[in-house]
């Protein structure tokens, strides 16, 4: 059965309604929103973990510095969202609250994997209950616990851990670069150069350092830091 037929029969009217071939069309539409979102890259390095994203400044009258695409979730965790960024902002705010609650309750920083599971449960619930649409966003979480870690949460509520990955528009092209040049002993400086190289390939003539936002967490101090223009330039 074709998707157009599914639509005419109303299988895409609710996230809780399965089509005859076992698909949740509202969830698939949310995943398509992610595929059309701005490109974001995460890389686990021997000395930390990095996130770099395209801010996609569409109007040269916009103050590029006012667009925030990478957020500090906790002292040792960063996140960036691709797709409907307004959905991502709400979820990341929720992640910040969860991290603070863990600190207050247990007097320790939350593990990155535990935080990711909590957020994924929230995303999954919006595919199971009626009256609300799924979150049209994928979120990359980068953190340093005992070691650097990188996770991607999908609109379905599923999540995966990666050594290096990309989401958004041009993600396949970026992943090809990462598969070719990534190695487990890569440093953060090398990973930044590799990510910028991949974004240059994806953005082509539209590439501009002003469009990029980046953050990193070092293994030595486990502290979130934003990248400045000089670091992105390499």
For residue 9, the model assigns a pLDDT of 63
Mean pLDDT of 33-39: 95
- Ranges of beta strands (E only) in 30-96 are 40-45, 48-54, 70-74, 77-83
Which H or E element spans position 152? strand 148-153
Reply yes or no on whether the pLDDT at 13 is more than 80.
no
Q: Are strands 212-218 and 48-54 parallel, antiparallel or unpaired?
A: antiparallel
* Secondary structure (H, E, C), 112-125: HHHHHHHHHHHHHH
Each residue's pLDDT tens digit, 151-209: 999 999 999 999 999 999 999 999 999 999 999 999 999 999 999 999 999 999 888 88
For residue 122, the model assigns a pLDDT of 96
For residue 234, the model assigns a pLDDT of 59
Give me the phi and psi of 105, to 5 degrees please.
Answer: -75, -45
pLDDT band at residue 5 under the 50/70/90 scheme: low
pLDDT, greater one: 7 or 80: 80
For residue 61, the model assigns a pLDDT of 80
Q: How far is CA 108 from CA 56, 80, 97, 168, 225, in A?
A: 36, 23, 14, 33, 20
Q: How far is CA 97 from CA 73, 141, 168, in A?
A: 9, 15, 26
For residue 210, the model assigns a pLDDT of 84
Q: Could you tell me which of 196, 207, 226 has the C-alpha nearest to residue 68? A: 226
CA–CA dist 4, 9 (Å, integer): 9
For residue 7, the model assigns a pLDDT of 58
Report which DSSP code applies to 174: H
Reply yes or no on whether the pLDDT at 91 is more than 60.
yes
CATH superfamily for 25-56+74-222 is: Aminohydrolase, N-terminal nucleophile (Ntn) domain (3.60.20.10)
CA–CA dist 152, 88 (Å, integer): 12
For residue 16, the model assigns a pLDDT of 76
Domain ranges of the chain: 25-56+74-222
Mean pLDDT of all residues in the chain? 91
For residue 8, the model assigns a pLDDT of 46
For residue 6, the model assigns a pLDDT of 61
Establish how many alpha carbons lie within 13 A of residue 128's alpha carbon, considering only the half-sphere containing its beta carbon.
Answer: 8
Mean pLDDT of 74-85: 96
> For the chain, what percent of residues have pLDDT higher than 70?
96
pTM for the model stands at 0.92
For residue 184, the model assigns a pLDDT of 94
CA–CA dist 49, 145 (Å, integer): 11
Dihedral of CA 137/35/207/189: which sign? positive
In a 3-state reduction of DSSP, which class is residue 143? strand
For residue 25, the model assigns a pLDDT of 86
Mean pLDDT of 50-56: 94
For residue 59, the model assigns a pLDDT of 76
For residue 114, the model assigns a pLDDT of 97
CB contact at 8 A, 155 and 135:
yes
């Amino acid at each position: 059965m074709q998707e157009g037929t599914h639509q005419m029969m109303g299988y895409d009217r609710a996230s809780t309604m399965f089509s005859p071939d076992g698909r949740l069309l509202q969830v698939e539409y949310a995943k398509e929103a992610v595929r059309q979102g701005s490109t974001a890259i995460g890389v686990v390095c021997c000395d930390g973990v990095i996130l770099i994203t395209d801010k996609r400044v569409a109007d040269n009258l916009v103050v590029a510095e006012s667009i925030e695409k990478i957020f500090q979730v906790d002292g040792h965790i960063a996140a960036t969202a691709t797709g409907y960024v307004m959905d991502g902002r709400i979820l990341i705010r929720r992640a910040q609250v969860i991290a603070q609650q863990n600190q207050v309750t247990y007097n320790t920083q939350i593990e990155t994997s535990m935080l990711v599971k909590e957020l994924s449960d929230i995303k999954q619930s919006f595919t199971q209950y009626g009256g609300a649409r799924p979150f049209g966003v994928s979120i990359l979480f980068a953190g340093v616990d005992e070691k650097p870690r990188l996770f991607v949460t999908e609109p379905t509520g599923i999540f995966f851990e990666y050594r290096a990955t990309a989401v958004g528009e041009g993600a396949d092209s970026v992943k090809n670069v990462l598969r070719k040049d990534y190695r487990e002993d890569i440093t953060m400086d090398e990973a930044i150069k590799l990510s910028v190289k991949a974004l240059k390939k994806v953005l082509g003539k539209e590439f501009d350092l002003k469009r990029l936002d980046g953050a990193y967490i070092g293994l030595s101090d486990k502290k979130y830091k934003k990248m400045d223009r000089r670091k992105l330039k390499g």
